[in-house]
Amino acid sequence: MADDSMASAVDLRAYRDETDLEGIMTLIAADLSEPYSIFTYRYFIHQWPSLSFVAMSNGSIIGTIVCKMDEHKTGAMRGYVAMLAVDKTFRKRGIGKWLVREATRAMRDAGCDEVVLETEVTNLGAIALYESLGFVRDKRLQKYYLNGNDAFRLKLWFSRSPHVAEVVPADAAAAGTAEAPAGVASPAP
């Protein structure tokens, strides 16, 4: 990592098995405003394990992204980012961006035409992260979260989609092809 105060390297890898679940749940519970039951985690992770990734440091999960994909009513294959979290002590190092790139690459490679997610309108860091990767604000969802906050629905379209007339930005279309941040090891193929 570029930060000398933390000498440990960060490894990114796909979700492996149930032994990852506790670390994912602990990180998400500490970071996101919505409470999720173990059944919610298992719904996503067990059905789409290849669309979930973790960032590891010293044997602990310090970042995660949990996703799914299915056919939308329009006929498009839609990827969905359900959860993204990075431990506060590891932020501003590109780990969140790398997790999103890996997940969107995996969804694109699995045949998705687009990816959607929701984020609180007050979460300016997340909005900036997603927009830097080519996501655009699709709509505002009033009182979407249990805490009463509104959400933005953000979308990323892949250029090969027959449902999209325009081409998405090159960075977004090539999600997952950029090099990992310094000190971060890419997931094994």
pLDDT in tens, 77-93: 999 999 999 999 998 89
Binning pLDDT at 50, 70 and 90, where does residue 187 land? low
Is residue 115 pLDDT above 70, yes or no?
yes
What pLDDT score was predicted for residue 37? 74
What pLDDT score was predicted for residue 147? 83
Average pLDDT over residues 148-172: 66
Binning pLDDT at 50, 70 and 90, where does residue 6 land? very low
Percent of the residues in the chain that have a pLDDT greater than 70, as a whole number: 78
Find the range with the poorest average confidence among 25-34, 47-56, 145-154.
25-34
Is residue 8 pLDDT above 70, yes or no?
no
Residue that wins the pLDDT comparison between 160 and 84: 84
Spatial neighbors of 154 by CB under 8 A, at least 6 apart, are 116, 117, 118, 119, 127, 130, 131, 135, 136, 137, 138
What pLDDT score was predicted for residue 181? 53
Is residue 118 pLDDT above 90, yes or no?
yes
DSSP 18-41: GGGHHHHHHHHHHH-SS---HHHH
Average pLDDT over residues 49-68: 94
Average pLDDT over residues 28-55: 84
Task: Supply the pTM of this predicted model.
Answer: 0.78
Is residue 108 pLDDT above 90, yes or no?
yes
CA dihedral 65, 138, 151, 110 (to 10 degrees): -20
Binning pLDDT at 50, 70 and 90, where does residue 184 land? low
Residue with tokens 């890419």: 186
